[in-house]
Amino acid sequence: MLINQKKAGELLRKYSIKTPKTIIFKETEFNKKIKYPVVLKVDSPKIIHKSDFGVIFLNLQNKEEVNRALKTQNTILKMNNITDYNFIVQEMVTGTELIMGMKRDETFGPVILLGIGGIFVEILKDTSMKIAPLKKKECYDMIEKLKAKKLLEGYRNTKKVNKDAIVDVLLKLSKLSIDQKHISEIDFNPVIVNEKKAIVVDARLIENGS
């Protein structure tokens, strides 16, 4: 079963995994205070991949833009007969996109994945994997095995990212995976990393038996 975003966020905070400032709400009008620009998303057990449903709106600059996007989201939800949902507003984070994840193997236990994210995911399929529990050196090795690691080292006009921050998230993901045996699959996509920090922007956690 897919764990809802509120519970997923609580679990990530328990392991001190950084996430953007997030507001979860049910109302069809947004009137909360938050720093712009923001992202608007939908959380529903019926929606596994949000981008496939067209319910992600990026770079919204003010409350009016959020509310216009909410109307579109409501239309999409009604068209797909989705009634169990919450809306999510998150502060925008800039940087290089990575993916991290875990799959629980019957033989080896939790296997941790790191890869280049964004538009490069499907094209490059550039990932590295190791079995948890991870040590710090193994995390750095995972980064070094990425074919496109130059993207993390200041390629052309991009800034060099904080590799220590990537390692920090990998170690925490590893510990979470070892501790929380009821979770069969974890998908952090994207993880935005810049010169200062690494932030998990979207997390999908699946419990055993689903």
Residue-wise pLDDT tens digits, 108-120: 999 999 999 876 6
Q: For the beta carbon of residue 58, count every other beta carbon within 10 angstroms.
A: 11
- Using CA atoms, how far apart are residues 67 and 102, in angstroms rounded to an integer? 35
Are 56 and 39 spatial neighbours (Cβ–Cβ below 8 Å)? yes
Please give the structure tokens belonging to residue 102: 């875990």
Average pLDDT over residues 99-111: 97
Please give the structure tokens belonging to residue 124: 């490059």
pLDDT value of residue 102 = 98
Residues in the chain: 210
In order of 6, 59, 69, 118, 192, the CA distances from 93 in angstroms are 19, 10, 19, 13, 7
Strand ordering across the sheet containing 22-25: 22-25, 86-91, 38-43, 57-60
Q: What is the pTM of this model?
A: 0.90
- Using CA atoms, how far apart are residues 120 and 132, in angstroms rounded to an integer? 26
Q: For tokens 């998990």, what's the residue?
A: 200
- Cα 146 vs. chain centroid, distance in angstroms? 19
Lowest mean per-residue pLDDT among 14-23, 52-61, 66-75, 119-128: 119-128
Residue-wise pLDDT tens digits, 6-52: 999 999 999 999 999 999 998 888 999 999 999 999 999 888 766 66
pLDDT value of residue 49 = 66
